[in-house]
Amino acid sequence: MSAHYDLSNRAFAGFMSYEMTYSCAIFPDEANGPEGDLWEARPMAPPRPSPGLNNRTSPPDDLEKAQLHKLDFIAKRARVFPGARVLDIGCGWGSLSIFMAQKYGAIVDAITISDHQKAYLDARIEAEGLSHVITTYLMDYRDMPESFHHAFDSVISLGVMEHVGLEYMQAWFEKMSWAMKPENSFKVFAITTVPDTRWAMYSSEVDFIRKYIYPGGQLSSIKTLVNDAVAAGLNVESIENIGPHYARTLREWSYRFVRNWDSHIKPAMLEEYPALEEADLEIFRRKWMYYFAYSESGFALRSISDHIIVVSREANLRV
């Protein structure tokens, strides 16, 4: 999995929005909803040049507005409050961690298995002056230190559990419960899902994404997730479907990927991997274009979806 995320920070910046979020956005009315880009051309901001401050060259575009809306949505579902201890598992480039620290006054521990992501996030934390409230770790969730035991008011993961593996999902929830405070704490996660009615067929096949994009990845269904959460001693508080928004998120990434290929993404790949030849780069470009289109069609046709799920222990008085 780390091979996918360690491609190049600059390459990812070439198609993501300014705050660098690599998960489903939620497009509010001010960003023209999940289909707004299909009715009219929408402005796109240029890629973020670096993790530093004061480097914005244009106002927020629809994708950035939608990603910030999603981050706020997640923070609200996690009941984040000033001084809350929050664990951000699979923190990516740190957009959620920084958002919760700045807007909600949370104290955040952020973990990733990507060297590139951690280096980027550390630089951004320093630039934002947040070193006193955000701590980063390069580690697997299974290696969390003893100091994390029952330490967190909220545990959050966005687009991480697709990589856990079905046989380890109950153990994942048990580890999340281990990190959650004994009382009044929450686990919030966003995960791409397969309909329960198609689960048996999906689980017996290997598709393009599992073979070429996320080797070893596997989607869950709502039923399998709920069963594993309950087996780990957690109750489901809410399930919300944001799948239609992922179709537009992928289109927005694809627009930017095409527009910024020659100017940003291709040079970034050559800087990171100077031995790449034109044929290698063309294979990479086509694979990612197909990845965006293949995934978009799945969400647009509701063959797959994306759910935000909140779980907690029994008798949580903050529900």
Q: Which domains does the chain have, with CATH numbers?
A: 2-245+296-312 (3.40.50.150)
What does the pLDDT read at residue 2?
46
Measured CA to CA, the distance from residue 152 to residue 74 in angstroms comes to: 16
Measured CA to CA, the distance from residue 105 to residue 91 in angstroms comes to: 17
Mean pLDDT of 21-50: 91
Burial group, residue 166, by CB count within 10 angstroms (0-12, 13-18, 19+): middle
What does the pLDDT read at residue 4?
56
What does the pLDDT read at residue 209?
81
Mean pLDDT of 69-94: 98
φ/ψ bin of 20: left (φ > 0), alpha (ψ from -120 to 50), beta (otherwise):
left
Per-residue pLDDT tens over the stretch 99-112: 999 999 999 999 99
Measured CA to CA, the distance from residue 278 to residue 241 in angstroms comes to: 41
Of 1-5, 142-146, 153-157, give the lowest mean pLDDT range: 1-5
Mean pLDDT of 124-151: 98
Calculate what percentage of the chain has a pLDDT beyond 90: 83
Per-residue pLDDT tens over the stretch 214-270: 777 889 999 999 999 999 999 999 999 999 999 999 999 999 999 999 999 999 999
Cβ–Cβ < 8 Å for 61, 43: yes
Cβ-count burial 255-274 (b if 16+ within 10 Å, e if not) = bbbebbbeebbbbbbbeeee
Question: Kind and range of the H or E element at 31?
Answer: none
What does the pLDDT read at residue 26?
98
Confidence (pTM): 0.94
Measured CA to CA, the distance from residue 36 to residue 29 in angstroms comes to: 9
From residue 285, how far is each of 6, 175, 244 by CA, in Å?
16, 37, 25
Residue 7 pLDDT > 80: no
Question: Kind and range of the H or E element at 205?
Answer: none
Per-residue pLDDT tens over the stretch 230-245: 999 999 999 999 999 9
pLDDT band at 211 (very low <50, low <70, confident <90, very high): confident
Alpha helices in 194-242 (DSSP H): 199-203, 208, 222-231
What does the pLDDT read at residue 110?
99
Residue 49 pLDDT > 80: yes
